[in-house]
A = this chain, B = another copy of it.
C-alpha cells in the first residue's frame, strides 16, 4: 500500500465516476489513452516515492535559511526537482504548441497531487512555476512567451506570484507597488511584496516573478492594478541571463507548515533599477489573475485533499498494524490485544477521513474534468454552462477540502495517539501543512462572500441552475437504485434548502447583514456538493460491484462511505442553513469593546 496515493481510487474517479475516456476521444488529447496515462502516473509515483517522500521529514525539520546573501536548502530538494524536471512534468498541462505535454488537467492535477502528498515543501516550487507559466501563456505577448516559457516549462527557471504586500493581504485594492514606464517599453518596479512562496532560492537559474503593481495615474483600487513579468536576473533579448535585477530578499517568514518552501518578503528596486514588462493591457492585471484563479484554486483544493490523504493512508496503515486494547465485550485482560482498527471509534475516525479525503478528491477531480471539457467543447452554450458551473464550484473546491481535510488530519493524529502528536511520525506535519489552505488563494471568509454575494446571485441564479441540472441528472440515476434512492431524496431536499437559503438572504438590502454568515453558508453548501459527489461515487460503486465481484472490498468501502456521508455529514447542513436564512445579526452587532468588556 502506497503512502502517497491510492491509484485504484484515482482510476475509479477518472474512468468510473467521471468520464476521462470521453475526453480522451477528442483530438486535443488524442495522444493519450488509458495505458499512456497509467504509465505517466507510474512515473510520477516512482519519482515521488523515491525522491520526494524520503526527505519530507528532513526538509520539515531543516527549513531553508538565509545568511543575508543566499538561501540555503538541503540538497535533496534540488535532486528531487531535477528528477521532476527530467520527467518533463513542468510542462505537463501545457499545449504541445508551446512545448508542453498537453495532458488533460484531470491527469496533470493527479500528478501534481501525488507530489503534493509526498512532499508539499518541494511540490510548492513546481506548482508556483506552472501557475506563473500558465498566466504568461494565456496573457503574455509572443515575445514574452518566446523568452520566458521555454525555460520555465523545462524547469530551468522557476516562477512566483507576487500579489500581497505587508499592508495589503486580502485587500488587493490597497496594493502600492509602483511600476513607472521607463520610456523604452519597460517599467521600473518598486515596492515590497509579502508572502512570496518560492520568492528566493538557488534551485533554478532564474526566478520569474508575476507582479501586481500600479502604473502612476491609473485608477485607484483594483481597477488600477497591472500585471508585470519581473525576473530576478534580467533576461537579454536572446534569452541569455543579464545583470541582477535588484530584487532583494528582505527576510524569510517561518511558517507552521510548508516549511520546505521559502516564503519571502521581497523588496523590488530598493537598491537599484528593477525592470519588468507589462502583461497585456495596463490596469487589467486583476482580471487576468481572476481568469486563472479557477485553476489555481482547484489546485489549492487538490493540495488540501492530498495533505489529508497523506494522513489518512498513514493512519490507516498504522491502525492495521498497531495492537492495543480489546473490544468492549471482551473483559478478559489475558486475551490478545486487537489491532486498533478493530475499535469502532478508530474506524469512525478512519471513515471520517475517507469521506473527507475521497469526497474532496472527487470534487477536485470533477472540477479538473470540467476544465478539460471546457477546453475541447465546440458548443458555445456548453462552454458557457461549464464556465458557470466552474464559477460556482471553485470556492467550494478550494474551501471545502481546506476545512474538512484539515479535520481529517486531526483525526489521523488521534488514530496514532501520543505517537501522532510527535514529530517522530509524519501525521502532525500534514496537519501543520494543511492549515495553510484556509488562508492563501483567497481566505475562507472571502470565498464565503464570493459564493453568497456573487456566485449564487449572478445571472439571476444562472450558476445555481446549471448546478441543479447536474445534480438532477445524478438524482434521476440514483432514484432507480434501491440502496441509493433514499440518499437521492435527501440530496434533493438539501439542495432545495440551499437554494431557499440563498433566496432568504437576498431579501435584505443590507449587504453587510447579507454577508454576515457567508462562511457558514460556504461550509454547508460544500457539504451538499460533496454529498452529490458521494452519490456519484455510490452509483459507480454499485455498477462496479455488479460487474466485478473480485473488487468487492473497494466497492463496498465506497458504498459504506457514501452511506456514512449521508448519515453522519449531510444532516448537519440544516442547522447551518437555518442560521444563514435567519439573517442573524449577533456577530455583526458586536462592538469591539464587547468581546472582553474593555
What is the interface of chain A, defined by CB distance below 8 A to chain B?
A: 1, 6, 8-9, 164, 167-171, 173-174, 194-195, 220-223, 253-257, 263, 313, 316, 319-320, 323-329, 332-334, 337, 339, 341, 343-351, 354, 406, 410, 413-414, 417-418, 420-424, 428, 431-432, 435-436, 438-440, 443-445, 448-449, 453, 511-512, 514-520, 551, 553-557, 560, 563-564, 567-568, 571-572, 574-576, 578-579, 582, 584, 586-598
Residues of the B chain whose Cβ atoms lie less than 8 Å from the Cβ of A592:
319-320, 339, 341
The reply to whether A439 and B410 form a contact with Cβ atoms under 8 Å apart is no
| Cα separation A311 to B222 with both chains bound (whole Å) | 32
**B8 x A596 contact (CB < 8 A):** yes
The closest CB in chain B to the CB of A257 belongs to B421
Q: Report Cα–Cα, A346/B254, bound state, in Å.
A: 24
Q: Are A595 and B220 in contact (CB under 8 A)?
A: no
Shortest CB distance A514–B (Å)? 8
Asked if B557 contacts A586 (CB within 8 A), the reply is no
The docked-state distance in angstroms from the alpha carbon of A319 to that of B588 is 14
With A422-B254, A592-B339: A587-B351 Cβ-Cβ less than 8 Å: yes
Given known contacts A418-B439, A431-B435, A444-B414, A333 and B553 CB-to-CB distance under 8 angstroms = no
- Residue numbers in B under 8 Å from A440 (CB-CB): 418
Tell me, in angstroms, the Cα distance from A316 to B436 when the chains sit together.
20
**Residues of the B chain whose Cβ atoms lie less than 8 Å from the Cβ of A520:** 348, 568
| Copies of this chain in its oligomeric complex | 2
Rounded to whole Å, the gap between the CB of A187 and the closest CB of chain B is 21
Roughly how many angstroms separate A367 CA and B431 CA in the complex, as a whole number?
Answer: 32
Q: Please, which residue of chain B has its CB at the minimum distance from the CB of A222?
A: B333
Known: A255-B423, A560-B586, A584-B567. A8 touches B351 (CB 8 A): no
Given A325-B171, A417-B169, check contact A589 B560 (CB 8 Å).
yes
Question: Which residues from chain B contact A329 at a C-beta distance below 8 Å?
Answer: 511-512
Judge whether A345 and B518 touch: CB under 8 Å: yes
Residue among B517, B574, B595 making CB contact with A350, cutoff 8 Å: B595
Candidates B171, B332, B345, B423; contact of A324 at CB < 8 Å: B171
How far apart are the CA atoms of A428 and B255 in the complex, in Å?
9
Bound: A422/B579 CA distance, A: 33
